[in-house]
Structure 1
């Protein structure tokens, strides 16, 4: 189980990837005081942990209600995650996360820092999008028991804390790494994510075709 939790944390870290949201966070909070900037970061990261917790607890039930088998969803989710990994390794970023140019940042800046901007677009879908949500459902469907479910929830909390620390250090990280450093980091995370996606696909095939595998 320890190995599985490491996989979950790795998958969360790569898919949520707060570094991809640093520029948007800086734009959204330009001119804000440190107190208000922290408030935006807290709301965004709280949204991330709530989203992870919600789909951990009800994701499998939702699939059953829709008549979707776990194996089919795992295969679809694995393919989605693999495509995300390929794009990240090619330096194209996460294809299921929006371009920051699509957001009217100037309009958002005129609103109070506690508005929905911290939730949408910063937390959803910029930090946790379809790939992250799919991975949460996949991993939660593979475990049983309170301890294992709690482990996923704890992993979500740890990742959210990491996201908060990254957002609060957004200015320093951006200056330190620059566009080149962030691009290299994205490619490395893409390679790790590709390995995670293959694990998901193999488990899905094992579930769908137990005789063949």
Structure 2
């Protein structure tokens, strides 16, 4: 039971740091500034449902994807660790990672944007369920254990609910925290992500060593 709780907390913190609901709320408020409360609610629901479906699909199909493309778990952990580390590094520097932004997503002044235009892209992809989040989900669920898959999906579902509440009260939350508060939160999440990324790298190196470690065949030299 203790191990399950530890895994659940680790998975949740990994997702929380990667998605960073506080910073994403500021992005959401900026992108939906001209929307009515009803349109903002519909956009948030559509984006989070789409993000959840994407992550759940990768959690459930991760093992099959590995088999189809011949991917090993150490390879995923090495690549995912680098990816997560880079995202965390950019957040530590106080800048947004290109994996979680879309430069063409910001509408021009005076241009009316419909909720459907931003719910899937860029909100669901790549802001909420970007490559880093997908790599994190597959890393935690790739062992193939149904319990790990359920814990990973449940942790992301809880995070989606928290993000939904943040989105609904976005303007008030942003005003209450302020720009400095968002910057501090972003840097803290970046620190957590760099540590998680490094841990994934270490685990990947360890698993790769065990996977490809070949015990040398002893050679018996007989005296002539």
What TM-score does the superposition give when structure 1 sets the normalisation length? 0.89
Aligned to 2:120: 119
Q: Give 2:180's aligned residue.
A: 180
Matched-pair contact (CA < 8 Å) for 1:30–1:109: no
Aligned pairs for 1:61-140 within 5 A: 61-99=64-102, 101-106=103-108, 110-113=112-115, 115-140=116-141
**How far off its partner does 1:117 sit?**
1.4
> d(CA) in 2 for partners of 1:90 and 1:9?
23
Shift of 1:23: 3.4
Structure 1, unmatched stretches of 5+, are none
Q: Could you list the per-position Cα deviations for residues 17-38 of structure 1 after superposition, in whole angstroms to 9, with x for gaps in the alignment?
A: 1223223322332232222211
1:83 and 1:111 map into 2 onto residues whose CA distance is 32
For residues 66-97 of structure 1, the C-alpha deviation after alignment (integer angstroms, 9 at most, x for no partner) is 11211111101101111111111111222422
Cross-structure match for 1:2: 5
Query: For structure 2, which runs of at least 5 residues remain unmatched after alignment?
Result: 215-224
TM-score (norm 2): 0.85
Matched pairs, number: 209
Cα-Cα RMSD: 2.1
Mapped to 1, the partners of 2:184 and 2:11 lie a distance apart of: 22
Q: Report the counterpart of residue 31 of structure 1 in structure 2.
A: 34
SS in 2 for 1:203: helix
Single out whichever of 5-14 and 168-177 deviates more from structure 2. 168-177
* Higher Cα Rg, which structure: 2
Displacement of 1:111: 4.6
Q: Indicate yes or no: 2:15 matched with 1:12.
A: yes
Matched residue, 1:164: 164
1:154 and 1:195, CA in 2 relative to 1: closer, same or farther beyond 3 A? same
Separation of aligned partners in 2, 1:191 and 1:28: 26
**3-state SS of 2:100 partner:** coil
Can you list the C-alpha shifts for 1:2-58, whole angstroms capped at 9, x where unaligned? 211111100111111122322332233223222221111111111121111011001
Q: Provide the C-alpha distance between the structure 1 equivalents of 2:81 and 2:8, rounded to a whole number of angstroms.
A: 18
Please give the alpha-carbon distance, in whole angstroms, between the structure 2 residues aligned to 1:182 and 1:194.
18
